[in-house]
Chains A and B, each alone.
Chain A
């Protein structure tokens, strides 16, 4: 019944891993809930047509895109209006997107424009038209049904693997007139310089907490270990609040949710809000000098020690083990 419209976030010509996770989730929704097709929709500036061609290789039924210089910068009003017009043509039963900062920002506007119910940050697609979503910092899972004619679903990228290449589908440019919108203007983007893997995409994450004491000591201890492992870097809220790490690195209920193969928590106590962002990791290692720290309750391997002593040792041992 009906079709699934999937908003595919692009970064110029590139599709981030979160988009491939949303793609996999949309295909799963089609299967599980018996929809006819999944139509991918991209909107943006330069590079969007290339990203649309890339997206067409993952087994979707059709890909539509709107490319306009007025969409070069992401802005909630402009994107919501444009996506609404683009998706109107599809008459979808379900609108899906990844719950990235952009998805969180403007998908509720889409829900409002369609008078749709929205299930946020879903981690599983259930039979019978239902979805599973975490609440209360992930301590409770709710199985929900959206009762409106159009449903809006955002999915948690870490809960869905990236879609793999399948059949190629048709790609069509939509001529949507993007409205002049003087009420929201882009001023600037201060990007976190980062040559390491993306937090949400990495197989290994090394995170540091308040115990790192300063930005310098954070960099001196966490970064070499991360680099020896080829890992992304994360942080607790306390480390971000104190300026040891940029906001983009915060792992937790109100930051990023990650589920890598290996998560190493260094000098992090393991508050409910932090656990919410990493407890689905495959293997968890905790280094903490307090043997009673709650992080040990979720850690597969715990090392009770002073991080300033053991982290440099660990970095060297990892280098040796990996023949670096």
Chain B
């Protein structure tokens, strides 16, 4: 059975985003690119499934400039079988991404799509459900546990939702999005990294897919949020309580 794992490259999560001087864009020159952490969890989950069921084929797909091959190779080194990179130098938002992914799904024979619940740059949390809806597939978002039955007919998924943990069963094919507690992604092994260099990576120019790509969302400008003023250090619990009572008036 085939699993598709879409992944996005995003700027390193440890670094604060910076704006261009005209506030028209977020600076990406010189940033360190990584695999979106939630997508890394998705790759790991697919690899764990394959370890239990060797007849699984894992295909990773990304959309971005040619240099995204680096992040795609990371996923191959973790244990994916082959990769597709849909190349474009343009902006890719959730809407465009889900259209491209639907086209990739249509060109294969996938039983399951596992992807991140959100990308940590755009923070939109849309692509998974958008894709599921376009395919008219069921979905289970925010997964912290995923079990697939023996015949790949259904998946039982525990979801991290408001108020606790919800378990649902979805029929396959379906879309699952990952939450932080699903697994801890492995580091690619050295042999994995060597092997990844030779694994198949197909590049498809976005333009060749014939996808309507007029953006539905137009960003007019960016700004930094208001910065908090630096506060004061207190030296004791008594002083803290006094400040909270008399200055902040929150007690």
Residues of A at the B interface (CB closer than 8 Å) are 75-77, 80, 99-102, 104-109, 111-113, 116-121, 130, 134-148, 182-192, 204, 229, 237, 240-241, 246-248, 253-254, 261-262, 272-273, 279, 282-285, 291, 296-304, 310, 313-314, 317-318, 321-322
> How distant is the Cα of A283 from the Cα of B245 in the complex, in angstroms?
12
> How distant is the Cα of A186 from the Cα of B171 in the complex, in angstroms?
12
Interface residues on B, range: 35 or more
Residues of B at the A interface (CB closer than 8 Å) are 11, 13-14, 16-17, 19, 26, 38, 94-95, 98, 117-118, 120-130, 132-134, 138-139, 141-142, 144, 156, 159-171, 174, 179-181, 214-225, 228, 230-238, 240-241, 243-245, 248, 250-251
Could you tell me if A189 and B241 are in contact, using CB atoms closer than 8 angstroms?
Answer: no
Could you tell me if B141 and A104 are in contact, using CB atoms closer than 8 angstroms?
Answer: yes
Could you tell me if A144 and B163 are in contact, using CB atoms closer than 8 angstroms?
Answer: no
Query: Which of chain B's residues has its CB closest to A191's CB?
Result: B164
With a CB–CB cut-off of 8 A, which chain B residues contact A188? 166-167
With a CB–CB cut-off of 8 A, which chain A residues contact B156? 187
Could you tell me if B129 and A105 are in contact, using CB atoms closer than 8 angstroms?
Answer: yes
Task: Name the residue in A80, A313, A317 with the highest tally of chain B Cβ atoms < 10 Å from its Cβ.
Answer: A317
Could you tell me if A144 and B219 are in contact, using CB atoms closer than 8 angstroms?
Answer: yes
Query: Which of chain B's residues has its CB closest to A113's CB?
Result: B133
With a CB–CB cut-off of 8 A, which chain A residues contact B241? 314, 317-318, 321
CB distance from B161 to the nearest CB of A (A): 4
Q: Which 4 A-B pairs have the closest CB atoms?
A: A117-B216, A136-B17, A108-B129, A112-B133
With a CB–CB cut-off of 8 A, which chain B residues contact A183? 138, 170-171, 174
With a CB–CB cut-off of 8 A, which chain B residues contact A80? 133
Dominant SS at the A interface? mixed
Known: A140-B223, A300-B248, A301-B243. A284 touches B231 (CB 8 A): yes
CB distance from A207 to the nearest CB of B (A): 16
With a CB–CB cut-off of 8 A, which chain A residues contact B161? 101-102, 105, 248
Task: Name the residue in A118, A186, A187, A291 with the highest tally of chain B Cβ atoms < 10 Å from its Cβ.
Answer: A118
Query: Which of chain A's residues has its CB closest to B38's CB?
Result: A254
With a CB–CB cut-off of 8 A, which chain B residues contact A313? 237
Could you tell me if A109 and B217 are in contact, using CB atoms closer than 8 angstroms?
Answer: no
**Pick from A139, A144, A262, A298: contact of B250, CB under 8 Å:** A262
Could you tell me if B231 and A248 are in contact, using CB atoms closer than 8 angstroms?
Answer: no
With a CB–CB cut-off of 8 A, which chain B residues contact A130? 220
With a CB–CB cut-off of 8 A, which chain B residues contact A283? 244, 248, 250
Could you tell me if B225 and A141 are in contact, using CB atoms closer than 8 angstroms?
Answer: yes
With a CB–CB cut-off of 8 A, which chain A residues contact B167? 186-190
Could you tell me if B250 and A101 are in contact, using CB atoms closer than 8 angstroms?
Answer: no
Could you tell me if B164 and A192 are in contact, using CB atoms closer than 8 angstroms?
Answer: yes
> How distant is the Cα of A101 from the Cα of B174 in the complex, in angstroms?
19
Could you tell me if B250 and A261 are in contact, using CB atoms closer than 8 angstroms?
Answer: yes
**Pick from A77, A148, A254: contact of B180, CB under 8 Å:** A254
Could you tell me if B125 and A120 are in contact, using CB atoms closer than 8 angstroms?
Answer: yes
Could you tell me if A187 and B169 are in contact, using CB atoms closer than 8 angstroms?
Answer: yes
CB distance from A254 to the nearest CB of B (A): 7
> How distant is the Cα of A285 from the Cα of B251 in the complex, in angstroms?
13
Query: Which of chain B's residues has its CB closest to A271's CB?
Result: B14
Known: A144-B217, A147-B215. A108 touches B222 (CB 8 A): no
Query: Which of chain A's residues has its CB closest to B216's CB?
Result: A117
CB distance from A248 to the nearest CB of B (A): 6
With a CB–CB cut-off of 8 A, which chain B residues contact A143? 219-223
